[in-house]
Amino acid sequence: MSVTKTAPAPHRAPKALTAYRPYWAKRFGTAPFLPMSRAEMDSLGWDSCDIIIVTGDAYVDHPSFGMAVIGRVLEAQGFRVGIIAQPDWQSAEPFKALGKPNLFYGVAAGNMDSMINRYTADRKIRSDDAYTPGGEGGKRPDRASLVYAQRCKEAYPDVPLIMGGIEASLRRIAHYDYWQDKVRRSILADAKADLLLYGNAERAIVEVAHRLAAREPIEQITDVRGTAFMRRSNDPSAEGWFELDSTEVDQPGRIDQHINPYLTTGQQAAAMGESCALEESGAFDPVKGQDKAVALGAEVKPIHFAKPLAATPLRGKMSLPPRERTVIRLPAYEQVKSDPVLYAHANRVLHLETNPGNARALVQAHAHRDVWINPPPIPLTMAEMDYVFDLPYARSPHPSYADKQGSHDGATKIPAWEMIRFSVNIMRGCFGGCTFCSITEHEGRIIQSRSEDSVIHEIEEIRDKVKGFTGVISDLGGPTANMYRLGCKSPEIEAACRKPSCVYPDICSNLHTDHTPLIHMYRRARALRGVKKILIGSGLRYDLAVRSPEYIRELVTHHVGGYLKIAPEHTEQGPLSKMMKPGIGTYDRFKALFEKFSEEAGKKQYLIPYFIAAHPGTSDEDMMNLALWLKRNGFRADQVQTFYPSPMATATAMYHSGLNTLKGISRIEGKGEKVDIVRGERRRRLHKAFLRYHDPNNWPLLRDALKDMGRADLIGNGKHHLVPSYQPVTDGAYQSARRKNSTTSGVKTSPVTKGRVLTQHTGLPPREHGGKPAARKTAGSGFAPRKKGR
């Protein structure tokens, strides 16, 4: 441990967003839209921008778009903020369009990770982009944050560069990259950014902006929560911190490494994120490969590897220093890139340090520099959430995207804006902890809710100001539909909790699950003048809903538009335990209540369950059993989701390491739990085919698989069979969910099925009209695509 009398203060206590003295440029007032051109700056009377935000999305001035939220928050603090949206990244010139920013560039890939936005789960390039006018693809580069950062540095090398958004958040440490199938360095190391803001960044960006405006060098801004930065190993500015080795937090087991005979002892130590004390002292000659003292006949002494911050491993009962002065050293990038066990270990430790109430700082060596990650940001209060959402958003795309008639509804329509145009975000965060989802890693597991008055005010704003409003609010929700104002009963317990989920394996006894505030909001919202209907489009957490039958009654009676989407994700316990999702029995209980209250309301309504194929821990037999469950319950899954390993997710660590990272990691045979990983195109196609058992294009593959599994009894033409023995003529075509997620129209694939057949496509059975089945709506009929987080 190394502590000095001049040690810097730990992370500062959170300051309210409204407690800052506005910057002098507040006198310019509020812009109708944040400017995207010099002409707009001139019309506002600006000679320059204080801050320029570069984003991979088209600029939509709406609180569901990150660039608008950060831009309006900074504007409210008095700063002049410009937007460079989807710039041509082939040169630095487009990044100079608004001139040189006075304070800093802010860079983000957009609302989605640019790689997930551009590639399917099968690593195929998508033809469209929901965040671009006209849905046009190819308007942002791969790893957009990294490319934009490099161009900003090229444009104005002396301007501080701050990265943010979900892409940067999920790449703040060494991370597995699914598209290259390797572990990449922290994006900070590649982008040469001065600072990275992770999670919802309003609190951090406001503090950093004011400190930069006060002429504080960005190199000295190292104490802001929710930030990450690079510093040299053994940097004097790190003095005053107690360094704890990550193996004291989570023991991965014995680490056996092959020694490279071509590396010196110092180079071997560097690869482990350490240094060789002998070589640094000059007592070892790396050229001759021997200890100089030994050459002179002195006594042989063991080599000592000294940690950069002189941390001493702790064993037994010892009094630890305050958590706010403790930093945990993760295995170095050079270690985790070639050791999946250590990668899994680092991922486990990172997820242990996500609660703002008790998280410690993390540090990870990248060669001779460290990536330093401060604890997560303190969640916004309800008053601060209201402040952020009540800012003067235009609730429309920037006028530069409009067609000749000044409309955004034609060829220039931005699909993502269309989806949220008449929706309202009521909360942030998710305490579900689903291993395949990145919401918790980005937004945190503490729910941040708006006040009822703020939500009602936004609905009235939509009613009175948004063009095309017909009286229907498409969604009142967020990452989930029904976590509004839910949380731990005790602030003390919440601050000390280290669990990754509040609802797995069962709902925590300390969790407050009362849905009354949400019910009251629904009732007040639908009573507003001019509001005909309020639908719930966000995914529902049904294991919470069954704790509040009155909420289900309210939802089913007034807020379901024919179908309700929920996400059991699977039916089998093996994959469900790796997802941290409840068993299918909970779905059955919710289904019974849903049908009961639908019948009482005199409505025919249907549940649309979503499932994931090829998730870690899923066997071929698991998918077969899921397919049988789908057929038994009359579901035809058209919108199929294959597991997508996003950076930093727990399931991604499973995918890369082959180990269950929810349990202890060990190299000792029998101690750790190995996970069945679905790799290879053929097996991933098979798991997807089981979900779409009804598609004739999949039948040949399924027949072969069922024979190999010894389940040929499921092949035949009876009701109990999974696939028929006959094969109709098909063209083999299939289009992804981003287009029309079904076999090409016009191709007859099988005889018309009579009776009630539900689909994930619409959730509604075919209706009889004059003896002919009515045409079903397709994915292109205006139904919103599935949200990424459940």
Using one digit for the tens of pLDDT, what is the confidence trace for 575-619? 999 999 999 999 999 999 999 999 999 999 999 899 999 999 999
pLDDT average, residue stretch 55-80? 97
- Higher-pLDDT residue of 774 and 255 is 255
* Long-range contacts from 660-666, C-beta under 8 angstroms, 24+ separation: 660/578, 660/617, 661/344, 661/347, 661/348, 662/435, 662/500, 662/577, 662/578, 662/580, 664/250, 664/251, 665/250, 665/252, 665/253, 665/341, 665/344, 665/345, 665/348, 666/251, 666/252, 666/253
Whether 262 has a pLDDT exceeding 50, the answer reads: no
pLDDT at 672: 80
Whether 786 has a pLDDT exceeding 80, the answer reads: no
Q: Work out the pLDDT band at 266, boundaries 50, 70, 90.
A: low
Q: Work out the pLDDT band at 729, boundaries 50, 70, 90.
A: confident
CA distance linking residue 640 with residue 742, whole number of Å: 10
pLDDT at 460: 97
Summarize pLDDT for 633-676 with one digit per residue, the tens: 999 887 789 999 999 999 999 999 999 999 888 777 667 899 99
pLDDT average, residue stretch 730-736? 58
Q: Confirm if 122 and 131 have CB atoms less than 8 A apart.
A: no
pLDDT at 665: 83
Task: Tokens for 447, please give them.
Answer: 């729910």
pLDDT at 617: 97
pLDDT at 705: 97
Task: Tokens for 333, please give them.
Answer: 């990038």
Whether 343 has a pLDDT exceeding 90, the answer reads: yes
pLDDT at 268: 52
Q: Confirm if 197 and 207 have CB atoms less than 8 A apart.
A: no
Whether 377 has a pLDDT exceeding 50, the answer reads: yes
Whether 559 has a pLDDT exceeding 60, the answer reads: yes
Q: Confirm if 487 and 446 have CB atoms less than 8 A apart.
A: yes
pLDDT at 408: 87
pLDDT average, residue stretch 335-348? 95
Q: Confirm if 60 and 68 have CB atoms less than 8 A apart.
A: yes
Instruction: Provide the β-strand partners of residue 427.
Output: 449
CA distance linking residue 85 with residue 93, whole number of Å: 14
CA distance linking residue 180 with residue 176, whole number of Å: 9
Whether 294 has a pLDDT exceeding 70, the answer reads: no
pLDDT at 289: 43
Measured from the Cβ of residue 460, the count of other Cβ atoms closer than 10 Å reads 15
- Specify the range with the lowest mean pLDDT, choosing from 243-252, 275-284, 665-674: 275-284
Query: What's CA 203's distance to the chain center, in Å?
Result: 19
CA distance linking residue 615 with residue 126, whole number of Å: 21
- Specify the range with the lowest mean pLDDT, choosing from 38-47, 239-248, 342-351, 538-547: 239-248
Whether 742 has a pLDDT exceeding 60, the answer reads: no
Whether 403 has a pLDDT exceeding 50, the answer reads: yes
Whether 465 has a pLDDT exceeding 70, the answer reads: yes
pLDDT at 98: 98
- Specify the range with the lowest mean pLDDT, choosing from 35-44, 237-246, 292-301, 633-642: 292-301
Whether 456 has a pLDDT exceeding 70, the answer reads: yes
Q: Confirm if 227 and 197 have CB atoms less than 8 A apart.
A: yes
CA distance linking residue 138 with residue 596, whole number of Å: 48
For residue 495, the surrounding DSSP H or E stretch is helix 491-496
Whether 255 has a pLDDT exceeding 90, the answer reads: no
Summarize pLDDT for 320-333 with one digit per residue, the tens: 678 888 999 999 99
- Higher-pLDDT residue of 449 and 412 is 449
**Conformation bin of residue 207: beta by default, left when phi > 0, alpha when psi is -120 to 50:** alpha
Q: Confirm if 201 and 444 have CB atoms less than 8 A apart.
A: no
For residue 155, count CB atoms less than 10 angstroms from its CB and return exposed for 0-12, middle for 13-18, buried for 19 or more: buried
Q: What is each CA distance from 769 to 563, 766, 775, in whole angstroms?
A: 21, 10, 10
Whole-number mean pLDDT of the chain? 85
CA-closest candidate to residue 556, choices 482, 606, 520: 606
Q: Work out the pLDDT band at 409, boundaries 50, 70, 90.
A: confident
- Higher-pLDDT residue of 270 and 405 is 405
CA-closest candidate to residue 209, choices 73, 109, 85: 73
Whether 397 has a pLDDT exceeding 70, the answer reads: yes
- Higher-pLDDT residue of 552 and 744 is 552
For residue 720, count CB atoms less than 10 angstroms from its CB and return exposed for 0-12, middle for 13-18, buried for 19 or more: exposed
Whether 472 has a pLDDT exceeding 80, the answer reads: yes
Whether 398 has a pLDDT exceeding 90, the answer reads: yes
Can you spell out the DSSP letters for 329-371?
EEPPHHHHTT-HHHHHHHHHHHHHT--TTT--EEEEEETTEEE
For residue 334, count CB atoms less than 10 angstroms from its CB and return exposed for 0-12, middle for 13-18, buried for 19 or more: middle
pLDDT at 666: 79
Q: Work out the pLDDT band at 504, boundaries 50, 70, 90.
A: very high
pLDDT average, residue stretch 380-397? 97
Question: Is the peptide bond preceding residue 375 cis, with omega within 30 degrees of 0?
Answer: no
Range of 13-17, 202-206, 228-232, 665-669 with top mean pLDDT: 202-206
